[in-house]
A and B are shown apart, each in its own frame.
Chain A
Amino acid sequence: MTNGRFPFFHEAETPPGAEGWERMFPYYLVPAAETRQHENDLWFAETMHWSRGCFPLGSVMAEAAYLAAGQNSTRIFAVPTALGLDFRIHQGYVYISPIAVTDPEEIKTRTEYFNHRAGYYFENWDELYDRWKHKVQRLIDDMRTVSFEQLPSLEAPEIVTEGRGRSSGFEVLEGYRRLIDNLMLAWQYHFEFLNLGYAGYLALFQFCREAFPEIAEQTVARMVAGIDSLAFRPDAELRKLAQLACDLGVADVIGSDAERTFEELSRSASGRRWCDAYDEAKDPWFHYFAEYGLSHEQDTWIANPALPLTGIVNYINRLQSGEEIERPVARLREERDALIADYRSLLTNAEAEQFDQVIGLAQRVFPYIEEHNIYIEHWVHSVFWEKARELGDFLVAMGFTHTRDDVFYLNRFEVEQVLNDVVQSWAIGVPARGRERWATEIRERREMLTVLHGTPPQPAFGNPPEDITDPFAVMLYGVTTSQVNAWLGVHEDTDALSGIGGSPGIVEGTVRLIASEKELQDLRPGEILVCPITAPSWVQAFSTAGGIVTDMGGMMSHAAIVCREYGVPAVVGTGFGTQQLRTGDRVRMDGATGKVVIVHAAELEAAS
């Protein structure tokens, strides 16, 4: 934070033990001497999706995402004022830099293209979106057919009798490429509608800002609340299962220990009935990550049944204490409609007509903003990592690596090299050539990443721009000019912090700092959940926490949207909530103004 700017990437010191980390990632993802000019821009840590950093294989997710985000803004729809999001991996974390278009002539040209192209999508939204769902489903089905079976010492006779002419070794190579291609393609689809969805909402937002200059951002967001979206289905399944457990009288048997729970349930007829219902809900709804599935470290509900079971137990407890556990959709819609009517009544007739149209548009496009996560982040990613783990097992089975996880320490190009090494050696009939070098390299990489991910990321690098105008960066990430200035002043000691009011409500409670979904079980009812981000799937948290405070996120971040849908107060985009607050602090937060005040600081532990 020198002279009103953040350090440049090249000025950052590498933590001892992580020297040479750059070699883990493709060269173009890492800041280098040749691209030093780029370091003048503002780069902020993309902790909203990569809160705990990025692994070598996982970096393909970032590539897929920013390739697609960029092309859609820059080349396909020609968003008038924004090109893509440039990105780098620095010391194991993802940083992004929004590229703006500032030349008025260029904006004008792009505006014409955008009108035609985006216009086509808005006009044909429902039909295109329907087609989209089929495309994605086909892609998932195709991805599932990829397999990485251990290569036999002698091929099966069918290769001969069916005249296939290709080996199972070739299937592995082809399967890997197909896996990567499908992931890339899934992300192409991910951004097909996303920015258009945000743009549709932005029209409503701008309209309201003009008619009501002082309207709170949150009030506008509440005009599209109460949405019907697949995004809420997994949670709905948990509530249904909780209700069923109570109805069948097996509620007391259910705990977060999956093995014991299912073992006990299998002993009674009603228990077995409940298990059947659980199994039925599982596919596809529990192909659901606690976050976004951007890292192999995350579990889906299927892989770790303790996650959904904890949620179910929570709902059972609330049911038993006589609480209402349904998502308050009816109330939200009622409030939404009353709110819209109230504001509408303050407009002139001509204005009210425009208002109706922008509201209609925003309500049509808005569900996609939440729903696409189910298809891409949850369903595609869960298949991807399942296959990646199969790949890890394959390399172990082929005697190349020691553990399944080793594969995650190779980037996507290295994996392809290793597979070629393994398959070619198998084909030729010799031992693989790189076993030793990769064993050593993977050991070193494990150590480096432990060091890197043990340190929280710098929030930003480079020069802050005078003004941050990219509407998407503001809506999604909460990166505003004042937020950047707050980052610059981080070392000021203060007993208050401020972010963006994400979901209304004033609440006082004790802080529970939570870094990952694995710690969610520590959260006690009424506590204020403080975390780097919350994924929409932190379902237990939303029904337990008194309020939620995140480091990153804007009005349209998932945390904010979901909190509004659940009626939980939220302050998002505080920048440093997780660094400034400690578990045990007593805080008062206001989800409307975005203020969090420490009422009573926790005692410092003697050891620290």
Chain B
Amino acid sequence: MNTVYTCALHDQRCRNSGEFGGKAAGLATLESLGLPVPAGFAVSGAAYRAFLDTPGLRDTVERVLDCGPGTDFRDAAGRIQEVLATTPVPAEAARAITRAYEQLREQIRDPDLAVAVRSSATAEDATAASFAGGFETALGVAADELVDRVHHCWSSVFSPAALAYAHANRLDPSTIEMPVVVQRSVPARAAGVMFTLNPTTGDRSRILIEANWGLGLTVVGGEVTPDRWVVDKVDESITEFTPGDKRLEHRTGGLTEVASSRWHPPCLTDDQVVELAHLGRVLERHHGAPQDIEFALEPDARGHEPLVLLQCRPETVWAHRRRQLRFDPHGDTTSWITSAIVDEPPAGQRIA
């Protein structure tokens, strides 16, 4: 059987997170729900493994890593990456990636199609999720740079930060899988993050949305104070809006300054906020748990601004806290009433 190196996001097989990673599987699920996701494909874990299987490569890596604790990770990383950089992407995989790109270009009918290349690394446990999110991301990648960019992404498994993290968490870096997502670049007018609960209070009847002008990187990266909305999940009304201080935005070309007239006005309309929240609610219901969602608004030729989803994954912070029941489950209702009269736990305090 032929090795599968790539898979389109709209292909059901892409929902296999073991082979295509969490991000790709999440996007494929969004696709299957008919939700707006930028077209793209995933590069499989098999492609990455084929690369590592280049004769001699694993031995070199293991030799460097075997030097044990106390080693300067920068030094180890430098030595490994030197080797990785000189090891070409296996020809078959490179051809598959190029072919997938060409298909995408045809599908979108954009001869100069630029893409975003992002890690879809599968973290074995949830605590590693943030670590997995920290791998290389490249935006506005042109056709001739694509294979190089995937190559970079693979190499980032052995970056100094990644090695330090793996060491601290007793992970063997050579067991990390590095599938990659390649998607049409979205020249977002505004973008951000949505949690289908309020992360500050854990209130599941609320949805929190944070957004800035341009791409969503500034919201995740904390380079600006984004606009902030709290939406009532049940009646889908905005209950709170706090304007941000949005002095920088990320365009495809990089970080740029924002004209002062746009620092404080909201970057999403109320209707967009409500539409987004509604999507969040749908996604939460589908997954049966609160979600952490990345989104962007992309102006089209007709002056519309369709919403696109860039990521959807389970919310992890509150999901791992054990919620205590308000009333003693062994007591009778009268004891609950008494407890309601006697105790006055301030909002959220008992949820821990």
Instruction: List residues of chain A with CB under 8 Å of any chain B CB.
Output: 79-82, 107, 111, 114-115, 118-119, 122-123, 199-200, 202-203, 205-207, 209-215, 219, 339, 342-343, 345-348, 350-351, 354, 357-358, 361, 469, 471
Q: List 5 A-B contacts (CB under 8 A).
A: A202-B337, A347-B204, A348-B323, A354-B329, A358-B333
Is the Cβ of B341 less than 8 Å from the Cβ of A202? yes
A114-B338, A203-B333, A203-B337 as given contacts; A214 in contact with B205, CB under 8 Å:
yes
Instruction: Return the contact of A214 from the options B325, B329, B347 (Cβ within 8 A).
Output: B347
A214–B206 touching, CB < 8 Å: yes
Pairwise interchain contact A111-B333, C-beta atoms closer than 8 A: no
From residue 86 to 126 of chain B, which have CB atoms closer than 8 A to chain A? Answer: none
A214 pairs with B230, CB closer than 8 A? yes
A214 and B340: CB pair below 8 A?
Answer: no
What's the Cα separation between A199 and B336 when bound, in Å? 10
B205:A215 contact, CB within 8 angstroms: yes
Contact assessment for B234 and A343 in the assembled complex, using a CB-CB cutoff below 8 Å: yes
Residues in B335-349 with C-beta less than 8 Å from chain A: 335-345, 347-348
Main DSSP-derived SS at the B contact region? loop
* A351 and B334 form a contact (CB under 8 A): no
Q: Sort chain B's interface into a size bin.
A: 35 or more
Q: A343-B205, A358-B327 are in contact. List 6 more A-B contacts (CB 8 A).
A: A118-B337, A202-B337, A207-B336, A343-B234, A350-B329, A471-B341
> Which residues of the partner chain A approach B327 to less than 8 Å between Cβ atoms?
203, 207, 354, 358
Q: Which residues of A contact B202 (CB under 8 A)?
A: 213
Determine the chain A residues whose CB is within 8 A of the CB of B305 once the complex forms.
none
Tell yes or no: B351 within 8 A of A by CB: yes
User: Nearest-CB distance from A126 to chain B (Å)?
Assistant: 15
Residues of B within 8 A of A203 (CB): 327, 333, 336-337, 339-340
C-alpha gap A469/B343 in the complex (Å)? 10
When distances are taken between beta carbons in the complex, the residues of chain A under 8 Å from B338 are 80, 111, 114-115, 118
Residue B151 lies at the interface, judged by CB distance under 8 Å to chain A: no
**Cβ–Cβ contact A214 & B334, under 8 A:** no
A81-B341, A214-B205 as given contacts; A118 in contact with B234, CB under 8 Å: no
CB-defined contacts of B198 to chain A, threshold 8 Å: 213-214
A346 with B325: CB separation less than 8 A: no
Chain A min CB distance to B242 (Å): 14
- What residue in chain A is nearest B328 (Cβ atoms)? A354
Across-interface contacts of A122 in B (CB, < 8 A) = 333-334, 337
Question: How far does the alpha carbon of A339 sit from the alpha carbon of B235 in the complex, in Å?
Answer: 9
Whether B334 lies near A115 (C-beta < 8 A) is yes
- Asked whether A199 and B326 contact (CB < 8 A) given A214-B203, A342-B234, A343-B205, the answer is no
**If the complex has contacts A213-B202, A213-B347, are A202 and B340 also in contact, measured as CB distance less than 8 A?**
yes
Write the chain B residue with the least CB distance to A80: B342
What residues on B are CB-neighbors of A214 within 8 Å? 198, 201, 203, 205-206, 230, 239, 347
| Contact B345 A346, beta carbon cutoff 8 Å | no
The chain B residue with its CB closest to the CB of A345 is B285
Who on chain A is nearest to B205 by CB? A212
Q: A107 contacts B342, CB within 8 Å?
A: yes
Nearest chain A CB to B290 CB, angstrom units:
9
Which chain A residues border B201 with CB–CB below 8 Å? Answer: 213-214
Highest count of chain A CB atoms <10 Å: which of B334, B335, B340, B341:
B341
Of all chain B residues, which has the CB nearest A360? B333
Asked whether B320 is an interface residue with its Cβ less than 8 Å from the other chain, the reply is no
Q: How far is the CB of B231 from chain A (nearest CB, A)?
A: 11
Q: Is the interface of A mostly helix, strand, loop or mixed?
A: helix
Q: How far is the CA of A210 from the CA of B352 in the complex (A)?
A: 11
From B335, B337, B343, give the contact of A199 (CB < 8 A): B337
Cβ 8 A contact of A212, one of B203, B325, B339: B203
Residues 295 to 347 of chain B near chain A (Cβ within 8 Å): 323, 325-327, 329, 332-345, 347
- A469 to B338 CA separation, bound complex (whole angstroms): 15
Alpha-carbon gap, A219 to B340, bound state (A)? 18
Task: Chain A residues near B230: list those with CB within 8 A.
Answer: 214
Asked if residues B341 and A79 are in contact (CB atoms below 8 Å), the reply is yes
A219 to B234, CA, bound (A): 10
CB within 8 A of A469: which of B323, B334, B339, B344?
A: B344
Q: Which residues of B line the A interface, CB within 8 A?
A: 198, 201-206, 230, 233-234, 239, 285, 323, 325-327, 329, 332-345, 347-348, 350-351
Whole-angstrom distance from the CB of A479 to the nearest CB of chain B?
16
Find chain A residues with CB under 8 A from B342 CB: 80-81, 107, 111
* Residue picked from A82, A111, A211, most chain B C-beta under 10 Å: A211
Q: Please tell me if the beta carbons of A354 and B325 are within 8 angstroms of each other in the complex.
A: yes
| Inter-chain contacts of A346 with B (CB < 8 A) | 204-205, 233
Q: Which residue, A80, A107, A339, has most C-beta atoms of chain B within 10 A?
A: A80
**List of B residues within 8 angstroms of A213 by Cβ:** 198, 201-203, 347-348, 351
Q: How far is the CB of A202 from chain B (nearest CB, A)?
A: 5
Cβ contact within 8 Å between A199 and B340 = yes
A119 contacts B332, CB within 8 Å?
Answer: yes
Contacts of A361 in B (CB 8 A): 333, 337
A514 to B291, CA, bound (A): 51
Q: Give the residues in chain A near B205, CB-CB below 8 Å.
A: 212, 214-215, 343, 346
**What are the residues of chain B within 8 A of A81 when measuring CB–CB?**
341-342
A284–chain B nearest beta-carbon distance, Å? 33
Contact: B325 with A350, CB < 8 Å?
A: yes
**Shortest Cβ-Cβ A-B pairs, 9 listed:** A213-B347, A119-B334, A206-B340, A213-B348, A203-B340, A212-B205, A210-B326, A213-B201, A346-B204
A354 and B326 CA atoms in complex are apart in Å by 9
Complex CA distance for A357 and B345, rounded to whole angstroms: 20
Task: Give, as a whole number of angstroms, the nearest-CB distance from B327 to chain A.
Answer: 6
Q: How many angstroms from the CA of A346 to the CA of B280 in the assembled complex?
A: 13
CA distance A205 to B345 in the complex (A): 12
**Is B333 within 8 A of A206, CB to CB?**
no
Contact among B234, B285, B341 for A80, CB-based, below 8 A:
B341
Asked if A358 contacts B335 (CB within 8 A), the reply is no
A359 to B337, CA, bound (A): 12
Question: Which residue of chain B lies nearest to A215 when distances are taken between CB atoms in the complex?
Answer: B205
Closest chain A CB from B52 CB (angstroms): 42
Q: How far is the CB of A396 from chain B (nearest CB, A)?
A: 50
Distance, CA A608 to CA B267, complexed state (A)? 49
User: Which chain B residues border A206 with CB–CB below 8 Å?
Assistant: 326, 339-340, 343, 345
Q: How far is the CB of A206 from chain B (nearest CB, A)?
A: 4
List chain B residues, Cβ under 8 A from A199: 337, 340-341
Chain A residues whose CB sits within 8 angstroms of the CB of B335 once the complex forms: 115
Measured CA separation A348–B204 after assembly (Å): 11
For the complex formed, measure the closest distance between the CB of A330 and the CB atoms of chain B, giving whole angstroms.
Answer: 19
* Closest Cβ–Cβ distance, residue A204 to chain B (whole Å): 8
Residues of B within 8 A of A123 (CB): 334
- Say how far A191's CB is from chain B's closest CB, in angstroms: 16
Q: A209-B347, A210-B350 are in contact. Are A351 and B340 (CB under 8 A)?
A: no
Q: How far is the CA of A82 from the CA of B341 in the complex (A)?
A: 9
Given A351-B325, A357-B333, also A210-B341 (CB < 8 A):
no
User: Distance in Å from the Cβ of B160 to the closest Cβ of chain A?
Assistant: 41
Would you give the shortest CB distance from B198 to chain A, in whole angstroms?
Answer: 6
List, in ascending order, chain B residues with CB within 8 A of A342's CB. Answer: 233-234
B337: which A residues are within 8 A, CB to CB? 118, 122, 199-200, 202-203, 361
> Looking across the interface, which residue of chain A has its beta carbon closest to that of B344?
A469
**Using Cβ atoms and an 8 Å threshold, which residues of chain A touch B329?**
350, 354
CB distance from A219 to the nearest CB of B (A): 8
Residue in B327, B329, B343 with the greatest tally of chain A CB atoms within 10 Å? B327
User: Whose C-beta in chain B lies nearest to the C-beta of A196?
Assistant: B337
Q: Report which residue of B239, B285, B334, B343 has the largest number of chain A beta carbons within 10 angstroms of its beta carbon.
A: B334
* B196: nearest chain-A partner, CB-CB: A346
Q: Most chain-A Cβ atoms within 10 A of its Cβ — which of B205, B323, B343?
A: B205
Q: Note all chain B residues with C-beta closer than 8 A to A350.
A: 325, 329
- Chain A residues, CB < 8 A from B285: 345
Chain B residues whose CB sits within 8 angstroms of the CB of A200 once the complex forms: 337
In whole angstroms, how far apart are the Cα atoms of A357 and B327 in the complex? Answer: 11
CA distance A107 to B348 in the complex (A): 24
